[in-house]
Amino acid sequence: MTRSDHDEFDGLAVGWALHALEPDEEHAFADHLSTCQRCKAAVHQSEEALGELAYDVPLVDPPPQLLDRIRLATGATDMPSARFRISSPAAADEPEKTGEPSRSRVAEVTLLRRLRRNSWAPLTMAAAAVLIALLSWNVVLHDQAGHARRVAAQRQAVIAKLTDSSTKVALQDGAGKIIGYVLQRGTGVDVVSDGLAPNNRATTTYVLWAVQESGKPPQAVGTFDVVRKDLDVRTVAGHAPLSDFSAFAVSRELGRTSPDRPSQVVATGAVPG
């Protein structure tokens, strides 16, 4: 590699660190980067400088419920070792039956104490209730006899806590089963999914549609992804006061943008009168 070659690669390294290359350049540079120590170092140095640039933003506290959302998401993610015991029958092997708190329980209590101490993230009552529900969810699984029934009950409790303070629209699939909710959130909306199939985030998307009145074509509110089949909360970018519409629908689409019309509707729900 000559010096002049690397003048160009140095520029690509900066573009790579900025995530500002066009796809063809990015693809080509990825091949080079995998074998070039100099460019790896150049990318790393740029990333370090950009890490400093990141602090040139007005700091904004994340909403208190965001940690709950993350916990909810991590709680049902397949993990290589001891994680939340929501989906792991091995939970019964924890030493709680000997009178000693389980490792996961200790972690949860530690977390709860931290959250209580954490002055920048005061839990709202609703968020605290969701957290407590999740903790209970974890603990009850130590009793495998009522495992499935209790998980179902706790799931409903979590859904209730997520939805009780919001204007909401229940989404039903073709068989009438509720597989999610549309929640009012300021002037935007959240979609709580509970049973929608995860989509390929590279090639497909879900689209939330709003219907103003019967007979009129639906309008796309925005796109969202479903990353797991279990309970999840996703924000849809669009502006959609629920009271302005009579119904909502969810479609699954090829591609990553909203088409003019929904092609494969997977759920619908009427706005309560």
At its nearest, how many Å lie between other proteins and the CB of residue 148? 23
Give the tokens for residue 229. Answer: 């089949």
Task: Answer positive or negative: Cα dihedral of 114, 116, 117, 123.
Answer: positive
Nearer to other proteins, 84 or 137 (CB): 84
Report yes or no: 248 and 211 within 8 Å, Cβ to Cβ: yes
Q: Which of residues 28-87 bind other proteins (CB under 8 A)?
A: 44-63, 66-67, 69-71, 73-74, 77, 79-84
260 counts as binding other proteins under rule CB under 8 A:
no
Q: What does the chain come to in residues? A: 273
Nearer to other proteins, 118 or 144 (CB): 118
At its nearest, how many Å lie between other proteins and the CB of residue 215? 25
User: Binding residue for other proteins (CB under 8 A) from 1, 18, 152, 160?
Assistant: 18
Give the tokens for residue 55. Answer: 């602090």
Nearer to other proteins, 186 or 273 (CB): 186
Nearer to other proteins, 60 or 145 (CB): 60
238 counts as binding other proteins under rule CB under 8 A:
yes
Strand arrangement of the beta sheet that strand 188-193 belongs to: 219-224, 204-211, 247-254, 265-270, 168-172, 178-185, 188-193, 232-236
Q: Which of residues 176-215 bind other proteins (CB under 8 A)?
A: 185-188, 190
Contact region with other proteins (CB under 8 A), list: 18-26, 94-102, 244-252, 265-273: 18-26
Q: Which of residues 108-167 bind other proteins (CB under 8 A)?
A: 108, 110-111, 114-115, 118, 120-121
Q: Which of residues 84-113 bind other proteins (CB under 8 A)?
A: 84, 104, 107-108, 110-111
Size of interface with other proteins, in residues (CB under 8 A)? 71
Q: Helices (H), strands (E): how many in the chain?
A: 7, 8
What whole-number distance in Å separates Cα of residue 30 and Cα of residue 195?
A: 37
At its nearest, how many Å lie between other proteins and the CB of residue 239? 5
243 counts as binding other proteins under rule CB under 8 A:
no
Strand partners, 211: 247
Report yes or no: 234 and 225 within 8 Å, Cβ to Cβ: yes
Give the tokens for residue 228. Answer: 């797991």
Give the tokens for residue 194. Answer: 């509970």
User: Binding residue for other proteins (CB under 8 A) from 33, 236, 250, 267?
Assistant: 236
Helix (H, G, I), strand (E, B) or coil at 192: strand
Task: Answer positive or negative: Cα dihedral of 185, 159, 210, 273.
Answer: negative
User: Binding residue for other proteins (CB under 8 A) from 102, 193, 199, 258?
Assistant: 258
252 counts as binding other proteins under rule CB under 8 A:
no
